[in-house]
Amino acid sequence: LFPESIPMTITSTHNAKLSQIRKLNGRRRERERAGLFVAEGEDLLAAADAAGWAARERYVVTGSGLEGTEVDAPLLAAVSALGSGTRALAVYEERWLAAPAGPLCVYLHGLQDPGNVGTILRSAEAFGAACVALGPGCADPFGPKAVRASMGAVFTVPLVHAPALDALPAPTIALVPGEGPALHELWQPSDDPIAREPAATLLIGAEREGLPEELAAQADHRAHIVIDNHSLNAAMAATVALYELTRMAPR
Ligand SMILES: C[S@@+](CC[C@H](N)C(=O)[O-])C[C@H]1O[C@@H](n2cnc3c(N)ncnc32)[C@H](O)[C@@H]1O
């Protein structure tokens, strides 16, 4: 008799949708259970639009003139993961590949820092990697810090839960500081083990522990990036390695 009306503006702190956004922003378990995540800010929402991701829900600050359900500014700020609040946020469905895609893939092992995971997504997009595979102990790529650090690449770079090493696009290259040949030597000069089109999976280890030895031992190659000190930050290493593979390999 009295169908539930949808208010044009959310003004209540008890709104169920807002409390779900707070939970999605705050807890990985909640994101995994619901299969949903939140992106904040007009740039990220524009990146999602450009990549063809339809938002489940979209909320904007009242009076902003942006498209979405209006929410009073303090209420939107209260559920935002950004310290400064946000003018717009939206909820999306997580997407995971069923199997890793090639020819170029980045595998992450034990990367707990969501900023590193997001930065690697951004670099994977920049250098045309077909997917990022997440091994055990990695931060959630759909968490707020990773989504922000990805600068929208979370919407363009396919993600996959890492299967066994032999399911990853070959050849697998364990990046280990100071070990094996220099990465750029792997394809020099004639009988290079890497195809001329950059086809490989780069294995990146954790900030402190690096790659487990048993994993590195299973990889097709072990290689290092030539630098003057011991190691780079994991995201920096992934970026340099992707650059070397895609921009410096002979074509
Ligand atoms: C901060 S490093 C880990 C350092 C760790 N103590 C070790 O010795 O492996 C994080 C990851 O970035 C990659 N990495 C960093 N610097 C590298 C380099 N110079 N050559 C190859 N990989 C590197 C590796 O995959 C490494 O596991």
d(CA 7, CA 107): 45
Which residue is it, tokens 């996959």? Answer: 160
Nearest alpha carbon, ligand 1 atom 7: 210
d(CA 21, CA 89): 9
Average pLDDT, the chain: 92
Span 199-225, mean pLDDT? Answer: 97
Span 142-166, mean pLDDT? Answer: 96
The tens digit of pLDDT for each residue in 171-194 reads 999 999 999 999 988 865 545 555
The tens digit of pLDDT for each residue in 213-248 reads 999 999 999 999 999 998 999 999 999 999 999 887
C-beta of 175 in contact with ligand 1 (< 6 A): yes
pLDDT at 8 over 70: no
- Please give the distance, rounded to the nearest whole angstrom, from the Cα atom of residue 135 to the centre of ligand 1: 16
Asked whether 152 and 119 are in contact (CB, 8 A), the reply is no
β pairing state of 57-61 and 88-93: antiparallel
- Please give the distance, rounded to the nearest whole angstrom, from the Cα atom of residue 32 to the centre of ligand 1: 29
Asked whether 133 and 198 are in contact (CB, 8 A), the reply is no
- Please give the distance, rounded to the nearest whole angstrom, from the Cα atom of residue 233 to the centre of ligand 1: 7
What is the reported pLDDT for 247? 84
C-beta of 224 in contact with ligand 1 (< 6 A): yes
